[in-house]
């Protein structure tokens, strides 16, 4: 675990505070009247939880690709990486409103470029969300020169993608780098020679679940 965990994501405090205030005011008016407000408060509280997680990987972890988000695998396919203009293996993690929405780096690497694209807010479980929805893509380069693209994609309810990276920043595998509110997906584009370790429908946990292994470079 390579960064401090406040248990509740800092991005959530304004929403939690507003929900708590509304619940307290409703409680003064009447306990029965306050019930839906307390339900909203507890929903918001659980949505912004940010628990500590062990960092997954095999061996020294230098070639390990871990889940960048909690959720369910909805795509494992060969396709075009629209950011690096190459063929790649895409692995997509869909987050519903009950998953942890803190995003972590899938690998050890340096941020080369960040793209922010406006777009729609259709259901993030649909494959076309990868190219039509609002999204923020990040190009990571590993120590051996492997290129990986990690894309935060907004969803039907999500209206805000937070990405705190910039070119030149170095990220450790499992390091927190962003957050998405409220329900979304994260796509990871890997080199074609990567070895996938996950299947469609499987549940994954950010930082902990191994998605794939990058191939060994020729000189190793």
Q: Indicate which residues carry an active-site annotation.
A: 184
Give dist(CA 35, CA 86) in Å, integer.
Answer: 52
Give dist(CA 49, CA 122) in Å, integer.
Answer: 25
| Peptide bond just before 18 cis, omega within 30 deg | no
For residue 67, give the nearest of 167, 141, 161, 173 by alpha carbon: 173
Burial 122-147 (b: 16+ CB within 10 A, else e): eebbeeebbbebbbbbbbbebeeebb
- Quick check: 94 and 185 in contact, CB under 8 A? yes
């Amino acid at each position: 675990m390579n960064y401090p965990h406040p248990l509740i994501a800092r991005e959530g405090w304004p929403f939690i505070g507003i929900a708590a205030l509304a619940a307290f005011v409703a409680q003064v008016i009447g306990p029965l009247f306050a019930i839906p407000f307390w339900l909203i408060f507890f929903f918001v509280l659980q949505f912004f939880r940010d628990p500590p997680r062990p960092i997954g990987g095999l061996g020294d972890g230098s070639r390990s690709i871990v889940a960048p988000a909690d959720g369910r695998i909805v795509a494992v396919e060969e396709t075009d990486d629209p950011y690096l203009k190459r063929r790649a293996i895409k692995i997509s993690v869909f987050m519903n409103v009950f998953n942890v929405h803190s995003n972590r780096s899938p690998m050890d690497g340096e941020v080369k470029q960040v793209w922010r694209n406006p777009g729609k807010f259709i259901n993030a479980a649909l494959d076309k969300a990868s190219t039509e929805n609002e999204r923020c893509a990040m190009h990571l380069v590993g120590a051996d020169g492997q290129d990986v693209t990690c894309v935060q994609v907004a969803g039907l309810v999500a209206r805000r993608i937070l990405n705190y990276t910039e070119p030149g920043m170095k990220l450790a595998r499992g390091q927190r780098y962003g957050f998405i509110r409220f329900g979304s997906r994260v796509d990871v584009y890997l080199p074609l020679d990567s070895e996938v370790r996950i299947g469609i429908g499987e549940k994954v946990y950010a930082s902990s679940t191994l998605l794939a292994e990058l191939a060994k470079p020729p000189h190793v």
